[in-house]
Structure 1
Amino acid sequence: MKGPRAWVGDEVTDPEGRAAIVTDVRAGGTVWVLRPVYGGNSHIRWETEQPDVLGVVRTRAERIANP
């Protein structure tokens, strides 16, 4: 996907169309950890090693400014 690269705190969509929040970037910047935006519980998480497939919906700064 085109646009800014997702980073911690950003709201994104993944290739399957799931809305998520980036919660962590691990392994020296090679693994992005995601959780659902709404619902679920704190144990629902998934990872991607391809951050360029994540579409940034709102950056962390935008989420904080407009909750």
Structure 2
Amino acid sequence: AAKAYQEAIFQQGQPAVMFFTDDVKGDYERIKAKGGAFIKPPTEVTGSTIAQLNDSCGNLVQITQLARW
């Protein structure tokens, strides 16, 4: 059941974990330069900018920078 759940949330684009940062674009460039496999580059969404990468174990990791008002 756990494997089916993991695969389903991955296919739906739901991250297994989310980390907050003050520089999502810089982190994206650093991780990508080291071979990180991003499935979503930095993208502005309501109230934040997010990027998602595959952790190579079947999970999505999201990095999030909150918008400053």
Q: TM-score when scaled to structure 2? A: 0.29
Q: Which has the higher helix share?
A: 2
Query: Quick check: which has more Rg, 1 or 2?
Result: 2
